[in-house]
């Protein structure tokens, strides 16, 4: 997310009297004309980046990206990189989709931003149309910017409506970097920042590939795992359980999909305790998994649904969707989430265009078909390379777990790093999840507009990279 900039009130400069000395101006930055100023050299670019950018995660990708179109990004040196992560797992229509470009150009010239208490047609239209894609009773939407913000708002609403404050999430979850969302995030970022929000608890991830509670045949006994988890939650709770916030498929947690039946059982655990169930579909919502929403597989409707990434197709748009009953209770209790960019018309117009394209082009069906094609290609790779331990995911959200030893499932950070680096050198951008206790998991989320030829290209590069990396170990 690009940082916002702010300036003080503008003033009209008044020239000094003719007899006065000109003011000292040497400290002011020189004005430049972007139309005539040549780009900085690569050396200067990286020097400026090192000097002026705050580092906010891992190392930056070693390339200067000049533009992006469709399924590819293009570097300053002219390299063409296949984007298997849809930007930040967001650009479901690919980069520079012509209808998104047209919408932005039209809307920014007409109505881009308003006082947060004002409403516009794109905002109301998007709220109504989102409700039309969802089962009852989900019909009330709050339009925001990022996934963290939508989860923050959802948790704030759940706490207000229930009158409680304790939150349960998966132990490998990622819900954002703001206070409540970060407190419910366990995959990374918990060390060194002092106490999080009080009353946050983690439950184990039902990972069938690495089961921690097993049945007699060695398979994951997720029911016993879930029962034991809530026994521990009950033992720690002060009696103030408000909500359970979870992803239908844990993405940053390693593309782990809980087994069928799990979410129905989790919903029952919530109901027994008077908790709300919040599903975070930042990455899984809006057709990526082959259905409009991932929760459709389980027939479980959340009390609150959060959307982000895919809703704006790469632009900052998020939503909280809930029932009229919950919204009314929140309103009666004085729900407050008044932000600078709540209900902004520009990104709401983009959201409407996203819904247009998804419905018109049947991208849920396309994600199922391409997902099958991708899965077959990954299965073929697994048959050729013993370092592939597991393949999982749904639709066009896939994960491939690399291991040093298939029998023991021993992970290898070195192998994961080698594969991702070699993929990039060969023209494929991949994302690796490396968490303690598991191997490196390659996350794949190509645009829903990708072609079979583009997926074949990615699979071919991945096949080569894995073979070369495994040979060096």
Report, as residue numbers or ranges, the catalytic residues.
174, 247, 280, 283, 309, 443
Q: How is residue 231 written in tokens?
A: 């026994």
């Amino acid at each position: 997310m690009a940082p916002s900039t702010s300036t003080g009130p503008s003033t009209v400069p008044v020239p000094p009297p003719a007899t006065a000395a000109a003011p000292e101006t040497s400290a002011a930055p020189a004005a430049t004309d972007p139309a005539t100023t040549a780009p900085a050299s690569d050396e200067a670019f990286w020097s400026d980046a090192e000097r002026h950018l705050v580092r906010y995660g891992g190392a930056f990708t070693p390339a200067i990206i000049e533009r992006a179109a469709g399924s590819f990004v293009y570097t300053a040196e002219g390299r063409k990189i296949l984007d298997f992560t849809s930007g930040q797992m967001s650009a479901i229509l690919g980069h520079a989709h012509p209808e998104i470009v047209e919408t932005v150009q039209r809307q920014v010239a007409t109505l881009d931003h308003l006082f947060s208490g004002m409403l516009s047609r794109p905002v109301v239209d998007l709220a109504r149309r989102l409700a039309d894609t969802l089962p009852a009773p989900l019909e009330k939407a709050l339009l925001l910017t990022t996934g963290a913000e939508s989860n923050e708002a959802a948790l704030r609403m759940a706490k207000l409506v229930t009158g409680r404050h304790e939150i349960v999430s998966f132990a490998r979850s990622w819900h954002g970097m703001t206070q409540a969302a970060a407190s419910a995030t366990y995959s990374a970022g918990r060390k060194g920042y002092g106490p999080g929000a009080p009353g946050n608890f983690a439950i184990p991830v039902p990972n069938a590939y690495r089961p921690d509670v097993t049945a007699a045949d060695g398979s994951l006994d997720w029911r016993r795992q879930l029962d034991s988890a809530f026994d521990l939650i009950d033992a720690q709770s002060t009696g103030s359980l408000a909500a359970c916030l979870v992803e239908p498929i844990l993405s940053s947690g390693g593309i782990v999909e809980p087994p069928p039946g799990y979410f129905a059982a989790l919903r029952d655990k919530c109901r027994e305790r008077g908790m709300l169930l919040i599903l975070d579909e930042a990455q899984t919502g809006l057709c990526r998994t082959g259905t409009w929403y991932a929760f459709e597989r389980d027939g479980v409707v959340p009390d609150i649904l959060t959307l982000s990434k895919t809703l704006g197709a790469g632009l900052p748009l998020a939503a909280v969707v809930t029932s009229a009953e919950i919204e009314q209770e929140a309103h009666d209790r004085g729900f407050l989430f008044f932000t600078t960019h709540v209900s902004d018309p520009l990104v709401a117009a983009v959201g409407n265009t996203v819904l247009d394209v998804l419905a018109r082009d049947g991208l849920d069906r396309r994600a199922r078909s391409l997902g099958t094609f991708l899965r077959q290609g990954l299965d073929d790779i697994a048959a050729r390379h013993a370092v592939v331990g597991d393949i999982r995911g749904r639709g066009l959200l896939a994960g491939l777990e690399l291991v040093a030893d298939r029998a023991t499932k021993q992970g290898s950070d070195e192998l994961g790093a080698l594969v991702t680096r070699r993929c990039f050198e060969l023209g494929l951008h991949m994302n690796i999840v490396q968490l303690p206790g598991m191997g490196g998991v390659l996350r794949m989320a190509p645009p829903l507009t990708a072609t079979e030829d583009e997926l074949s290209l990615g699979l071919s590069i991945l096949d080569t990279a894995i073979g070369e990396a495994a040979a060096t170990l």
